[in-house]
Chains A and B, each alone.
Chain A
């Protein structure tokens, strides 16, 4: 069994119990096949009349019926336990996985930005690496884990049966007829040996073709996505013939792979059926000479296939199971933090946040950055390089600079999404890494460049993380100049947003995010990340007006590149390539 899954099953009682129940039922049902064969052989050989057992044929038939009933019952139990084991295991995995997904870090900017592309073409065309990755994570935590079902409900029971039943069959055969037992014992190992041999020789062939196969297989999706572009250049009809040609190549390549891959099942099948012939023919000849009784002969005939069957069942389930293993590997890679999804930067062990700030001090704090340097893994140059900045309580500072200068990173330091590799961020003189992050974030209002709208009502989207009343939500929306368009939505504040919900324009999204900020009256520090970057003139004016109101009486740090937004600030700070450049200008 997969070692990480085993570790998980050890800690999760419910998983362990249900899995054990499932495997036990499967093995018990497998062993009952021996009893069934025994009874059937007895009945068919007219056992009672030959005096092999006392009782008679009808009582043997009754026993047989009981065995059949028991097998049915065990099959049912196996199914029930399997279902429970699968769902409890998936839930346990999700419980561990989800907190890892929800951890914002250096890549969070990338994930939030690229995920919000409104069109598929845009998503594939411009998605950065982290965006593609975030899509994979969503799939993994959702449908991806379903790949574990065949592994748990099919493969593992098959493995358990294969481990027990062939041995039991061989043991019974040893007692019944040594000759047959020897044949079975000699041929049985051929199945795994040939399986491994064929698998080993085909592995390189298969792997070589795998890349080509996935590329060809992806062609159709690629063309479907690009259909509007093809249409625009009159290439749509021509491409239909390309689809057929590529699919034809794909089929030919797949068949080349399958011809080899199916060899292993051919070997399994041949070994099993030829062994049966190897058993049956000598048994028949020995019956002829009278050196064997019919009951034993029938028992041997019924039992011999049962020695091979579990191994073949395991083999047919192997492929589907490997997809489950791959899913488990991926899930544990995220859970154990072997992926670049960690909230902490490497080399900066998180110190315990012992000194909690006093709950909600009345006034905005002083914020000071001292030699703050941030490095992202895999990049040579630091995102922020020894940045010194002091923001006095109530001050409004605009951060400007070209894209990639580290403006967003600076906000992420203050949000606690990234921890500086060197230097420190001080809040009223206390190091941010010592503060209790949740308490600190309660004093913040953050408006990202591309706010995420959740698959929930407009009201819930605005009240995010607070217990605001409907009246407070409306007031916040009004302050953010959002009440107008919200009222025009089909269900007003109850309209659900997100992928399956209503579409809002970029300006409207931005105002929902601003309303979120207004919904946090306890926030004393406002952090805004280019809130007007994608807006046209009129939407921009509305957002700027709302921002002006939001900044009143609060400390504000605004990443901006539109002068109208810069005008809101008391002071302008320029960032270039991670460092402060030039003098600070007073607006």
Chain B
């Protein structure tokens, strides 16, 4: 892969250099042809130049076409590799070091920097370098001092100037980025908070604030434009003054007319591939920053340490024993501070408690997406840390937080949880998740997700439930399946879910108590500790968090 890539890259670079060289050679040959013809030699003396002019004129465009195709091809290949590596590095990764709503789309944009690095920075630089070397060599051959003048000019335009624009771009983007973010936040507030602003009569003030951000951004952008303007001017001056210097040197040394015309025109045209490097330098700074961000993200430490020699994964039926479990997210206070829980085959346990009590953390520890600080989780007596995390997840999984709908057909969206499943099995899972009515209406091949058919919150949770049922893990986890649903839908889903999990080893996280009389045990978590446990009837009988919550819920159900 890498070998093929570098071969293609060399090919693209050579084609690019050939195109630029043909451009310089075309002018040089034409200059020679014309000045030599003015000396009125026999026609035969010109024939080589005539052929050369025609040949260079034809090949220049062809080489350029080849370079652009080969360059884009190699860039897309490189981007594929970058994306695949980034993805692979994120499979075992824990929480990402950067946050933000559009983190992922920015990351995907960043992988496109690889394309720019090759097509807009590296290939033009190589072509410019080879062309410059060729032009300087020819010039030195014609007149050494003139050649050195050309070399100096090219170095200014091709090295100093891009270095300058790269530095300036780095400095300016460090100032522009926060200004952009501020404007984006103010605009987002205007759009997403439209109703709040209008109701509070604060719209005009919010618009003024956004325009003030715009003004600050505009001032910075004008500053950056000044840098670009200077770069443009310096490039033009370098070209013009170099040509003048070359001509003066040639004149002073009384170089003959043919040679000085070739020198001057070669110098003039040699700058053509070099001048765009100033813009490439600017882009290069952005590319470097993007690649830096990707490296930082790819270096995200794995969520859990994998065992060096994994123990053979336990076979179902599975008994899960959790003892004194302590889990901590980063530097914060532990999310779980010593939790005990046993899940025997066929039993259903519900985890309840206020948000932030550690319910989801417990599931994450079971699914090995967060590591254990102290205490133990054992599967059939085997420490969970001795089993490969993939093997754990194939046995303990289900409906996780934030289920995702892929941009794919309904069938494919289900099938990711059962690649070998038959149509009958798919239909059964859908029926048990009570999604069959919707499936009949939309059809199995309807494309879901962004740009596709919108999926409502209730349908999304049911789709996730159908996936979980299709996957049929020995231990089924269900994390807040009724979250973000309206009351009626939530009740229906909870009822269906309790129906579908009868007789399965299940751990259900919920903030709604209705229906919990059906589960075998309820564990109440608060502040990372178990504060109550037992069956529904027992918990309702005793004073405490559970009864308070039950009464509050019962109160809201009276209507």
- Does A448 have its Cβ within 8 Å of any Cβ on chain B? yes
Residue of B nearest to A84 (CB): B222
Report yes or no: A537 in contact with B404, Cβ–Cβ below 8 A: no
Report yes or no: B57 in contact with A112, Cβ–Cβ below 8 A: no
Given contacts A277-B26, A284-B37, A438-B201, contact A301 B31 (CB under 8 A): yes
- Does B23 have its Cβ within 8 Å of any Cβ on chain A? yes
A1-9, A246-254, A375-383, A546-554 - the one binding chain B: A246-254
Report yes or no: B53 in contact with A281, Cβ–Cβ below 8 A: yes
Closest chain-B Cβ to A90's Cβ sits at a distance in Å of 7
Report yes or no: B233 in contact with A112, Cβ–Cβ below 8 A: no
Residue of B nearest to A271 (CB): B61
Point out the residues of chain A lying under 8 angstroms from B73, CB to CB: 251, 255
Report yes or no: B210 in contact with A75, Cβ–Cβ below 8 A: no
**Residue among A40, A141, A232, A466 having the largest count of chain B Cβ atoms under 10 Å:** A232
- Does A403 have its Cβ within 8 Å of any Cβ on chain B? yes
Point out the residues of chain B lying under 8 angstroms from A204, CB to CB: none
- Does A55 have its Cβ within 8 Å of any Cβ on chain B? no
User: Which residues of B from 372 to 415 have beta carbons under 8 Å from A?
Assistant: 390, 393-394, 397-398, 400-407
Report yes or no: B198 in contact with A102, Cβ–Cβ below 8 A: yes
- Does B46 have its Cβ within 8 Å of any Cβ on chain A? yes
Given contacts A40-B264, A83-B224, A290-B40, contact A72 B234 (CB under 8 A): yes
In the complex, what distance in Å separates the CA atom of A500 from the CA atom of B184?
11
In the complex, what distance in Å separates the CA atom of A226 from the CA atom of B79?
20
- Does B200 have its Cβ within 8 Å of any Cβ on chain A? yes
Residue of B nearest to A69 (CB): B237
Closest chain-B Cβ to A456's Cβ sits at a distance in Å of 8
Given contacts A40-B243, A44-B260, A57-B251, contact A288 B193 (CB under 8 A): no
Residue of B nearest to A87 (CB): B218
Report yes or no: A233 in contact with B407, Cβ–Cβ below 8 A: no
- Does B475 have its Cβ within 8 Å of any Cβ on chain A? no
Task: Write out, one digit per residue, whether chain B residues 539-558 have a CB within 8 A of any chain A CB (1) or not (0).
Answer: 00000000011001101111
Report yes or no: A562 in contact with B556, Cβ–Cβ below 8 A: yes
Q: Select which of B37, B356, B393, B484 is within 8 A of A534 by beta carbon.
A: B484
Given contacts A77-B229, A564-B552, contact A112 B460 (CB under 8 A): no
- Does A372 have its Cβ within 8 Å of any Cβ on chain B? no
Point out the residues of chain A lying under 8 angstroms from B548, CB to CB: 537-538
Residue of A nearest to B93 (CB): A227
Report yes or no: B264 in contact with A442, Cβ–Cβ below 8 A: no
Closest chain-A Cβ to B181's Cβ sits at a distance in Å of 8
Residue of B nearest to A153 (CB): B225
Q: Which label, helix, strand, loop or mixed, suits the secondary structure of the B interface?
A: helix
Report yes or no: A121 in contact with B241, Cβ–Cβ below 8 A: no
Report yes or no: B30 in contact with A301, Cβ–Cβ below 8 A: yes
- Does B369 have its Cβ within 8 Å of any Cβ on chain A? yes
Q: Select which of A87, A235, A255, A454 is within 8 A of B189 by beta carbon.
A: A454
Given contacts A126-B455, A281-B33, A438-B201, contact A254 B403 (CB under 8 A): no
Given contacts A231-B91, A266-B64, A276-B26, contact A112 B195 (CB under 8 A): yes
Given contacts A83-B228, A562-B556, contact A68 B194 (CB under 8 A): no
Task: Write out, one digit per residue, whether chain A residues 368-389 have a CB within 8 A of any chain B CB (1) or not (0).
Answer: 0000000000000000000000
Report yes or no: A247 in contact with B83, Cβ–Cβ below 8 A: yes
Given contacts A262-B68, A538-B354, contact A417 B198 (CB under 8 A): yes
Given contacts A103-B194, A281-B33, contact A87 B221 (CB under 8 A): yes
Q: Select which of A127, A262, A277 is within 8 A of B65 by beta carbon.
A: A262
Residue of B nearest to A398 (CB): B559
In the complex, what distance in Å separates the CA atom of A134 from the CA atom of B190?
10
Residue of B nearest to A290 (CB): B40
- Does A160 have its Cβ within 8 Å of any Cβ on chain B? no
Report yes or no: A72 in contact with B240, Cβ–Cβ below 8 A: yes
Closest chain-A Cβ to B228's Cβ sits at a distance in Å of 5
Task: Write out, one digit per residue, whether chain B residues 160-202 have a CB within 8 A of any chain A CB (1) or not (0).
Answer: 0000000000000000000011011111111111111111111
Q: Select which of B27, B194, B224 is within 8 A of A101 by beta carbon.
A: B194
Report yes or no: B193 in contact with A112, Cβ–Cβ below 8 A: yes
- Does A20 have its Cβ within 8 Å of any Cβ on chain B? no
Point out the residues of chain A lying under 8 angstroms from B486, CB to CB: 403, 533, 561
Q: Which label, helix, strand, loop or mixed, suits the secondary structure of the A interface?
A: helix
- Does B205 have its Cβ within 8 Å of any Cβ on chain A? yes
Closest chain-B Cβ to A106's Cβ sits at a distance in Å of 11
- Does B347 have its Cβ within 8 Å of any Cβ on chain A? no
Report yes or no: A221 in contact with B484, Cβ–Cβ below 8 A: no
Point out the residues of chain A lying under 8 angstroms from B101, CB to CB: 120, 123, 499
- Does B491 have its Cβ within 8 Å of any Cβ on chain A? no
Report yes or no: B196 in contact with A452, Cβ–Cβ below 8 A: yes
- Does A206 have its Cβ within 8 Å of any Cβ on chain B? no
- Does B324 have its Cβ within 8 Å of any Cβ on chain A? no
Task: Write out, one digit per residue, whether chain A residues 436-457 have a CB within 8 A of any chain B CB (1) or not (0).
Answer: 0010011011101001101110
Point out the residues of chain B lying under 8 angstroms from A61, CB to CB: 244, 247-248, 251
Q: Select which of B46, B104, B455 is within 8 A of A288 by beta carbon.
A: B46
- Does B445 have its Cβ within 8 Å of any Cβ on chain A? no
- Does B100 have its Cβ within 8 Å of any Cβ on chain A? yes
Report yes or no: A540 in contact with B556, Cβ–Cβ below 8 A: yes
Point out the residues of chain B lying under 8 angstroms from A394, CB to CB: none
Report yes or no: A233 in contact with B467, Cβ–Cβ below 8 A: yes
Residue of B nearest to A454 (CB): B189
Report yes or no: A270 in contact with B549, Cβ–Cβ below 8 A: no
- Does A212 have its Cβ within 8 Å of any Cβ on chain B? no
- Does A351 have its Cβ within 8 Å of any Cβ on chain B? no
A164-172, A237-245, A321-329, A575-583 - the one binding chain B: A237-245
Task: Write out, one digit per residue, whether chain A residues 119-144 have a CB within 8 A of any chain B CB (1) or not (0).
Answer: 11111111111001010011001110
Closest chain-B Cβ to A346's Cβ sits at a distance in Å of 19
Report yes or no: B471 in contact with A233, Cβ–Cβ below 8 A: yes
Report yes or no: A280 in contact with B76, Cβ–Cβ below 8 A: no
In the complex, what distance in Å separates the CA atom of A447 from the CA atom of B213?
28
Point out the residues of chain B lying under 8 angstroms from A520, CB to CB: 200
In the complex, what distance in Å separates the CA atom of A67 from the CA atom of B188?
49
Residue of A nearest to B225 (CB): A83
In the complex, what distance in Å separates the CA atom of A278 from the CA atom of B27?
13
Given contacts A72-B236, A229-B400, A536-B549, contact A79 B91 (CB under 8 A): no
Closest chain-B Cβ to A223's Cβ sits at a distance in Å of 7
User: Which residues of A from 92 to 121 have beta carbons under 8 Å from B?
Assistant: 94-95, 98-99, 101-104, 108-109, 111-112, 115-116, 119-121
**Residue among B30, B228, B241 having the largest count of chain A Cβ atoms under 10 Å:** B30
Point out the residues of chain A lying under 8 angstroms from B84, CB to CB: 240, 243-244, 247
Report yes or no: B214 in contact with A125, Cβ–Cβ below 8 A: no
Point out the residues of chain B lying under 8 angstroms from A90, CB to CB: 214, 218
Point out the residues of chain B lying under 8 angstroms from A409, CB to CB: none
Closest chain-A Cβ to B115's Cβ sits at a distance in Å of 10
- Does A82 have its Cβ within 8 Å of any Cβ on chain B? yes
Residue of B nearest to A229 (CB): B404
- Does A337 have its Cβ within 8 Å of any Cβ on chain B? no
In the complex, what distance in Å separates the CA atom of A446 from the CA atom of B486?
21
Point out the residues of chain B lying under 8 angstroms from A82, CB to CB: 225, 229
Point out the residues of chain A lying under 8 angstroms from B211, CB to CB: 91, 94-95, 98
Point out the residues of chain A lying under 8 angstroms from B235, CB to CB: 75
Q: Select which of A65, A86, A91, A276 is within 8 A of B241 by beta carbon.
A: A65
Closest chain-B Cβ to A455's Cβ sits at a distance in Å of 4
Point out the residues of chain A lying under 8 angstroms from B484, CB to CB: 122, 126, 534
Report yes or no: A240 in contact with B91, Cβ–Cβ below 8 A: yes
Given contacts A57-B251, A111-B192, A122-B402, contact A83 B221 (CB under 8 A): yes
Top 8 closest pairs, chain A to chain B, by CB: A83-B225, A79-B229, A68-B240, A465-B202, A465-B200, A452-B193, A537-B552, A269-B61
A–B complex contacts, Cβ < 8 Å, 19 sampled: A68-B236, A104-B198, A109-B195, A125-B404, A224-B107, A225-B104, A229-B403, A231-B393, A243-B87, A270-B61, A277-B58, A284-B37, A284-B49, A297-B34, A448-B196, A452-B189, A499-B101, A516-B196, A538-B549
